[in-house]
Each structure stands twice: as structure tokens, then as C-alpha cells.
Chains A and B, each alone.
Chain A
Amino acid sequence: MIVELLIALSVGAGLFGVGLYGALSQTNLVMIVMGVELILAAALVNLVAFWRYLHPDEPAGQMFVLIVMAVMAVEMAVAFGIAIARFRVRGSVEMEEARELKG
């Protein structure tokens, strides 16, 4: 059973690496959000694996998964709100053109 745990956690690590690459390399706000979604998905996989293979009798493990899902929904809603506002003002959601936000 330890092999199954290691497979699940390795998948989480893979998703984290891919998501980190995507969040850093993309210039479009929506694509950056996709990278962050993958990073959060990695956290979900790890949480379910920990619950299943280490503490299956503890429902708090599943509760954490629900909280991370809520974080994913919140992150997407806020990012799309910002994207709409940005698109209205600049006509684009390219982050290369948002250098003025640096201050």
C-alpha cells in the first residue's frame, strides 16, 4: 500500500512542478490562473492521499480538501473579476502590459 501512497504523492509533485512552470512562464492572466489551479490540484491529490493511506478514520482530512476546493473557486472568481476590469481599461489581459502595477 505504501507504493500507492508514493504514486499519489509523486503525481502531486508532478502537478506542482508543471503548475509552477505555467504560473511563471505565461504572459496571459487566464493562463497564469490555470497554473495556479494545477498547483492547488497538487495539494488536493496530496491531501486525499494522506487521508486515504495514513488517516482514513479522520474526516478532517476530507474537510481540508473541501477548503482547498473553496480556495480554487475564490481564486478563479477574483482573477476573472480582475481580468474583466483590466480588459475594459486596456483591452487586453497580457501581464507584460501591466508593468505599471509594479508602482
Chain B
Amino acid sequence: MTVQMIFLAFFGGAAVWFGVVVFRTHSMVRSALALLFSQTAIGAMFLVMQAEFLGVLQIMMMATEMSVMAIFMVMFMMDPGGMGKMDMTHQKRLSLWAGGIGLLAALLLVWLPDWGPVALSVPGAHEQAADLGRELLGRSMFIFQSAGLTILTAMIAATMVAIVPNAEQGK
């Protein structure tokens, strides 16, 4: 058993466990924090898998994203602290079955195929970042630019949807 295997299992277990906590707790703020910890554990998994740039990016991006989500939780929830122990679930049995079947199907897909030879080493962090930069500004430039344009469009769309209708009509 290698050190990488131990850390991967530890952070992977933490990611799944905090993912479960997101839907188990009554407090919405705790849910947002649990999702933050889950995403951070995933970032740590990336670091263990020697994808340094993506690991740091994941942790930084998700810390910001989940903080915003926690603010929205407090704004929109009827009981953000979970003191009233409100049940905010529906079709529980169907959801459990769907989640369970999805999990089993994914596990079968993971464990049954022969994945072939596995790479033992990866390029260094500096080389990875340089290769990724060349990829993004070379062969995959169109896809990369499309993603940027999509984010810009989504930002404009989200702002327009959220604008007060009266202000929009100049009343």
C-alpha cells in the first residue's frame, strides 16, 4: 500500500462523507460548509494525483463559490439555521433508489473493464502548467474561448433575470 493510495482513500472518503452530510443536516449553513469541505477534499485529491494547478484552482474556486452559496442559503431559506428541523425533501424513496442504482451502475463501470497499462509518472508541475497553456492557446483555443464566452453570456443572463422588472421598464 503506497502513501498515495492512503491519502487518495482518505481524501476521497472525506469528499463522499461531506457530500452525504450536505443532505443529512437540517442547517443550511452547515450544508454549504459541508459542500465546501467536500470540494476542498476533492482539491486535495487532485494534489495527491499530482495535478497541482488543478488542485489549487479547485480549492480557490470552490471556497469562493461555496461562500456565495452560503450567503444565498441564509437569504432564501425559511429556516437557515435548521432550528425548526423542517423536512425539505420529497420523493425520498425514489431518490434513494435512483441514487443507489446510479452508484451501483457507476461502480460496475469502474470495476469491470480492463483499464490497461497505468502510467507510473507524470510531468513536473511546471511542465504541466506550460503544456496546459500551450494546449489552451493552441489546439483547444476555440473550446477555451467558447467557455469564456459562455461564462460571459451566463453572467449577463443571470443579471438580467434577477433585475427588478419595474426598474427595467423605467418606471
Q: Which residues of A contact B91 (CB under 8 A)?
A: 24-25
Q: Which residues of B contact A45 (CB under 8 A)?
A: 12, 15, 42, 45
CB-based nearest A residue for B51: A48
Known: A66-B136, A69-B57. A10 touches B107 (CB 8 A): yes
Dominant secondary structure of chain B at its interface with chain A: helix
Indicate if the CB atoms of B161 and A82 lie closer than 8 Å.
yes
Q: Closest CB of chain A to B142's CB: distance in Å?
A: 11
CB-based nearest B residue for A11: B12
Does B81 lie at the interface of the complex (its beta carbon under 8 Å from any beta carbon of A)?
Answer: no
Interface residues of A in 47-99 (CB under 8 A from B): 48-49, 51-57, 59-60, 62-63, 65-67, 69-70, 72-74, 76-78, 80-85, 87-88, 92-94, 96
Q: Which residues of A contact B4 (CB under 8 A)?
A: 4
Select A17's contact among B68, B88, B102, beta carbons within 8 Å: B102
Q: Which residues of A contact B83 (CB under 8 A)?
A: none
Q: Which residues of A contact B58 (CB under 8 A)?
A: 44, 69
Indicate if the CB atoms of A85 and B38 lie closer than 8 Å.
no
Indicate if the CB atoms of A24 and B95 lie closer than 8 Å.
yes
Known: A17-B99, A63-B144, A69-B61. A1 touches B118 (CB 8 A): yes
Select A77's contact among B23, B53, B57, B155, beta carbons within 8 Å: B155
Known: A51-B51, A52-B122, A81-B158. A4 touches B16 (CB 8 A): no
Residues of A within 8 A of B (CB): 1-22, 24-31, 33-35, 37-38, 41-42, 44-45, 48-49, 51-57, 59-60, 62-63, 65-67, 69-70, 72-74, 76-78, 80-85, 87-88, 92-94, 96
Q: A15-B19, A30-B77, A54-B115 known; 20 other A-B pairs, CB under 8 Å?
A: A2-B118, A4-B8, A6-B110, A7-B8, A13-B107, A16-B106, A26-B89, A27-B88, A41-B19, A41-B38, A44-B42, A56-B119, A60-B139, A62-B132, A69-B58, A74-B151, A77-B158, A84-B161, A87-B75, A93-B76
